[in-house]
Homo-oligomer: A and B are copies of this chain.
Amino acid sequence: METKRVVVLGAGFAGLHAVRALSGKPGVEVVLVDRNNHHLFQPLLYQVATAGLEAPQIAFPIRAFLRRRNNVRFLMGNAEGVEPRERVLWVEGQPVPYDYLVVGTGSRTHDFGLPGVAEYGLGLKSLDDAMKIRDRILSACEEAVRTSDPERRRALLTFVVAGGGPTGVELAGALGELRRHVIARDYPDLSPKEVRIVLIEAAPHLLSAFSPGSRAYAQGFLQSLGVELYLNERVVELTPGLVRLHSGRSIPSFTVIWSAGITGQALPGLPTTRGQRVATAPGLHLPDHPSIYVVGDLNYLEGPGGRPYPQVAPTAMQQGALAAKNILRSLRGEPPVAFRYKDKGSMATLGRSQAIAEMGPLKLRGSLAWGAWLAVHLYYLIGFRNRMMVLSNWAYSYFTYDFAVRIMHHRHVFPTPREAPIC
Interface residues of A (CB under 8 A from B): 35-38, 54-56, 59-61, 63-64, 67, 73-77, 91-92, 94, 127-128, 131, 138, 142-143, 145-146, 185-189, 386, 389, 393, 396, 400, 402-411
A sample of 6 more A-B contacts (CB under 8 A), given A38-B408, A94-B146, is A35-B411, A37-B138, A61-B407, A77-B142, A92-B146, A386-B403
Given contacts A386-B403, A403-B64, contact A36 B94 (CB under 8 A): no
Q: Which of A127, A131, A186, A410 has the most CB of B within 10 A?
A: A186
Is the CB–CB distance between A77 and B146 below 8 Å?
A: yes
What is the bound-complex CA distance between A204 and B34, given in angstroms?
Answer: 46
Shortest distance in angstroms between A252's beta carbon and chain B's nearest beta carbon? 22
Shortest distance in angstroms between A37's beta carbon and chain B's nearest beta carbon? 4
Report which of B76, B189, B389, B393 forms a contact with A142, defined as CB distance below 8 A. Answer: B76
Is the CB–CB distance between B75 and A146 below 8 Å?
A: yes
Report which of B56, B63, B92, B143 forms a contact with A186, defined as CB distance below 8 A. Answer: B63
Shortest distance in angstroms between A280's beta carbon and chain B's nearest beta carbon? 29
Q: Which residues of B contact A187 (CB under 8 A)?
A: 63
Is the CB–CB distance between B404 and A56 below 8 Å?
A: yes
Is the CB–CB distance between B63 and A406 below 8 Å?
A: yes
Given contacts A54-B54, A75-B145, A142-B37, contact A64 B404 (CB under 8 A): yes
Given contacts A56-B56, A142-B37, contact A186 B64 (CB under 8 A): yes
Is the CB–CB distance between A76 and B186 below 8 Å?
A: no
Is the CB–CB distance between B406 and A37 below 8 Å?
A: yes
Q: Which residues of B contact A189 (CB under 8 A)?
A: 73
The 10 tightest CB contacts between A and B, nearest first, are A63-B186, A76-B142, A37-B408, A54-B56, A59-B407, A61-B406, A38-B407, A56-B407, A56-B404, A37-B138
Closest to A76 in B: B142
Shortest distance in angstroms between A303's beta carbon and chain B's nearest beta carbon? 36
What is the bound-complex CA distance between A73 and B145, given in angstroms?
Answer: 10
What is the bound-complex CA distance between A74 and B185, given in angstroms?
Answer: 13
Q: Which residues of B contact A61 (CB under 8 A)?
A: 186, 404, 406-407
Instruction: Identify 18 residue pairs between A and B in the complex whose beta-carbon atoms are under 8 Å apart, listed by A's number.
Output: A35-B411, A36-B408, A37-B406, A55-B407, A56-B56, A56-B407, A60-B404, A61-B404, A64-B406, A73-B188, A74-B145, A76-B142, A91-B146, A127-B409, A128-B409, A128-B410, A386-B400, A393-B396
Closest to A405 in B: B56
Q: Which residues of B contact A131 (CB under 8 A)?
A: 409
What is the bound-complex CA distance between A36 and B56, given in angstroms?
Answer: 20
Q: Which residues of B contact A60 (CB under 8 A)?
A: 404
Shortest distance in angstroms between A187's beta carbon and chain B's nearest beta carbon? 7
Closest to A51 in B: B61
Report which of B67, B77, B143, B400 forms a contact with A185, defined as CB distance below 8 A. Answer: B67
Q: Which residues of B contact A94 (CB under 8 A)?
A: 146
Q: Which residues of B contact A63 (CB under 8 A)?
A: 186-187, 406
